[in-house]
Amino acid sequence: MAKSDRAGAFEEVVLLAVARLADQGYGVTILREIEERTKTRPALGAIYATLERLETRGWVTSYQGEASPVRGGRAKRHYKLTAAGSRALENTRRMFERLWEGLALGRGARS
């Protein structure tokens, strides 16, 4: 499996958040989803940079939502997982499952 077929660690986190939010994910909701599930708070700029990279790779698509008076008339950019993004997540999951298979940490694990 080529490196380009699987997501890096933070890419995987962002892809999973986008997948969970379906097509309702945008920067702040993706940040909140990651925060809630991982108990960490990544920088919003890191999320946007990752989303841009994922879109370039064809793993997410985006569209401009409606303008909102709450946002001063600015529209939100929503992100959605593509079939290629879904495959990348599956490839990454399978890779980690193979690494974890048969590993018993704390019970005779090698140092």
pLDDT means over runs of 10, the chain (111 residues): 77 97 93 97 97 97 84 84 96 94 75 50
Locus of tokens 């959605």: 80
Largest CA distance in the chain: 60
| CA dist., res. 97 & res. 80, Å (int) | 25
Q: Is 78 within 8 Å of 61 (Cβ atoms)?
A: no
Residue-level pLDDT at 15: 97
The model's pTM is 0.84
Residue-level pLDDT at 98: 95
- The ranges assigned to domains in the chain are 43-99
Amino acid identity at 95: M
Q: Rounded to 5 degrees, what are φ and ψ at 31?
A: -55, -45
